[in-house]
A and B are shown apart, each in its own frame.
Chain A
Amino acid sequence: MNQLYWSRLLVALILCAGTFLRLWDLNNVPPHLRNDEAAYGYNAYSLLLTGKDEYGESFPLIFKSFGDWKPGLYIYFTIPFVYFLGNTDVAVRLPSVLAGIVAIWLIYLITNELFKNKRLALIVAFFWTISPVYIALSRGIASLAMAFALGGLYFFLKAFNKKSLFLIPSAFLFGLTLLTYHGAKLSTPLLVGILIALFAKKIFSLDRRVIIASFLIILVVSLPAMVAIFQGKAARISTLSILSSANIQQDNNRLLVYHNQGLDLIRSITSHWFDHYSPEVLFLRGDLNPQHGAPNVGAFLALDILFIILGLVKITRQGFTKQNLFIWLAILLLPLPSVLTIGYVNFERSPLMFMPWIILASLGAYQLIEHLSKERRRLILGVSFFFIFAYFLNYFYFLDQYFIHLPKKSVAWQYGYKEIVQTIAQVKEKYPTIVVQKSADQPHIFYLFYQRYDPWKYQKFSSSVFVPNQEGKDMGYVSKIENIEFKEIDWQKEKPKTGEIFVMPEDKLQQQKKFYSSFKIVKEIKDLNNLPLYWIVETI
């Protein structure tokens, strides 16, 4: 009873810490919404008022958005927050934050179910709570699909440890992941595959009716995502897939046996795979996308490497138990959604890939604590004190990097559009045309979201102003909203008329003023370090 009390108290404390770390200053850190977040927010707003998405489709599950066909469950979860908090940054982020907090509780339950060890489960929950990567991802939009996957995993384990019937909620939650995030189309089948492989022998001991029902449930729930792929709404996948853009060049001067597409592809995938295990990514720099972590901090703290090494030694010595196999397979396979896409490592594409590392670190810490309590107490106490101090300092470094330094990195956050939109709204009626520099940032969505643009009105012309991607990729662009045009500004080719407003980045204006210099400044938008970022100018 006493032990139960303590473990509950500790779980509650860990959840409190997790809530604090995920909610603290959410309105300012991260400092700006990303275009995807703004799109989620505006579509939630549109659904709330009209029951339709921005293109006028009634209650879709897959949203066209920028042409990337977003799985839309996150949008539905955003609706109540938009209703209560309005079109704000916090409203869009809260579903992910809450899912991130639930994830802490779920990982505690999962570890307890997998290892039958409450102390270890507490350590895992603790490491999860404070991990840089999961704090950053929770404050973005990546946590909801992850929480569904963790829920699915928990009920799957419960189905084998307790009642077959738990397989049904497991299937339902796994199915939901596919409606929530693109990356789940690969990560969920991988996770389910790992679980089936591990429990293959016991799977037929479950009630067959439950197995069939679960199979049908996962099929039905994920059907919209599957159908969307067959309907050709999979431009996001084809744009990012390493398999479609491997860019393998044929060189006729090379011997086919040593140089062929297959080998090049294997080398390319292997290379990308290795990136996911590099100390630089895991402990020192992260995935280079500032949206997924703190500057100069990896997915974990630098000192976590010690726990991970201890954990690795422990499970290697133990051999292939079911739990250890789960860790090995998860380490090996869960990064695949990120491995098989172009670009460097991307934490957001496969947030669950860090789960096995956290379990490893916790196993290492658990072993250390067990060892410390038995042997050489004085010496070890001294060393522990020093280590705890160093770890605390390391953690403080992360907090400083995340909460102080990250909000200074303007470019990473598509910073500036919120202010641009406010200025445009003020001057919009006074000028016949406002031209905003076209960009992959999708500036129109910030206007729609922050100005609470009437969804009924926008739905009437949204399809006519959407220009699909000319290179067959996913992201198109919106060319016009009333008198606001989004296009490439080139004053050499197209001389501006007088009395127009132009919005462009600092470097673009420096370039363009060689061709046309009769303008006056309406507003200078500064970045987070107080340097010029955008200019709003009026031609005269």
Chain B
Amino acid sequence: MSNIGVFLLTLVGGFVLRILIQPLDIVSTVFSSGLILLHWFMVREMFKGQHYRFLPFVSTLFLTVSPWYILFSNQRAVNIFLFIIFAFTLFCFRYLKKYSLWLIPVFLVFATLVNFSPLSLRVNVKQDLTPIWLTDEQRREHIQNYNEVFVKVLHNKAINYGYSFLDHYGRHFNGNFLFISGDARKDQKVADFGVMYLFDILFIIFGIFGIIRKFYPWGVFLIWLAIAPLVSALNFQPPDIFRAALMAEPLILISSWGAINVFRFVNQNGTHMIRLPMTIILILIVVWDFTRFVYQLLIR
């Protein structure tokens, strides 16, 4: 019961944080808060056993205070889209467990394509002319051979748009975007903040070490993470925190699992003299970074 009580408190806290985002959109806020609820059930369904007993709570807490989720909490399309994804994932893990490893990724690809792709593709090709210019420049630099087949095989729009896409895709995993500076657009970021907290750097490293040996159910989230920026990478100037919103869930889960592992590591390996101070320091860092975010969000 106490677990449920803390969870409800988290839910209310999340709701309060979300209504602070202006302009307020009540439908988005409701769906955004609903995401917290769905996340809770989803993680409880997927990660069972004593080993994972803290994960639903910690990850829900992390999601509630996540800068990424808070920033898109007034974006109706993003929240509804994520709500559907979460609901489908929960449904899969509850009723179609043995198909979930391929069913969820297929649905993710399908949903993101339906949701963003036609617009993205058009915008990208129209606005991003660099690959076309680059192709021209590269062919010109071959001087009299500019029209040869091997020149055309190496320097063409397909290859340069392909490179551009890989570049855009890679930018979603750049630490600067994730932890330091966030989205390049001022209206889609909080000053001096990435889309995650600074402390997430440590937790994500520990999280990755923790999950790499257990493909199930983490594999679903690793595939999810790989798929999430695909459509956003088609955009002209990525990463865009709204289009890449799907990335937040696996990253938060990994970070939460990392946090649990860090605290376990300290408590299981540290001497008596180290355990308490280390635990307090870690908690203080988390609290400090969270309050820094709230300060930046509301006051600055």
Contact = CB atoms under 8 A, between A and B. Distances in A.
Nearest to B291: A258
B138 A280 contact: no
B179 A284 contact: no
B174 A302 contact: no
Interface string A287-320: 0000000001000001000000000010011000
B116 interface: no
Interface string A228-264: 0000000000000000000000000011011100000
B170 interface: yes
A398 B170 CA distance: 19
Contact of A270 (B141, B169, B179, B291): B179
A324 B22 CA distance: 48
Name B's interface SS.
helix
Interface stretch (B52-60, B208-216, B259-267): B208-216
A270 B201 contact: yes
B30 interface: no
Most chain A CB within 10 A, of B159, B163, B209, is at B163
Interface stretch (A76-84, A161-169, A271-279, A416-424): A271-279
Contacts of B208: 316
Given A257-B288, A270-B201, A404-B141, A283 B175 contact: no
Given A404-B142, A408-B141, A280 B167 contact: yes
B176 A284 contact: no
A257 B296 CA distance: 12
Given A258-B295, A279-B170, A397-B154, A313 B142 contact: no
Contacts, number: 76
Most chain B CB within 10 A, of A274, A277, A302, A313, is at A274
Given A274-B174, A316-B212, A284 B201 contact: no
Contacts of A283: 166, 170
Contacts of A254: 300
Contacts of A278: 170-171, 174-176
Contact of A258 (B141, B154, B296): B296
A395 to B, nearest CB: 11
B181 interface: yes
Contacts of B169: 279
A274 B179 contact: yes
B292 interface: yes
A377 interface: no
A488 to B, nearest CB: 33
Nearest to B212: A316
Which 4 pairs across A and B sit closest by C-beta, in order of nearness?
Answer: A279-B170, A274-B175, A316-B212, A258-B292
Interface of A: 254-255, 257-259, 267, 270-271, 273-275, 277-280, 283-285, 296, 302, 313, 316-317, 393, 396-397, 400, 404-405, 408, 529
Interface of B: 134, 138, 141-142, 153-154, 159, 163, 166-167, 169-171, 173-176, 179-181, 192, 198, 201, 208-209, 212-213, 288, 291-292, 295-296, 300
18 contacts: A257-B292, A259-B192, A267-B192, A271-B176, A274-B179, A277-B175, A278-B175, A279-B167, A279-B169, A280-B167, A284-B167, A285-B167, A296-B134, A302-B163, A393-B153, A397-B154, A400-B154, A405-B138
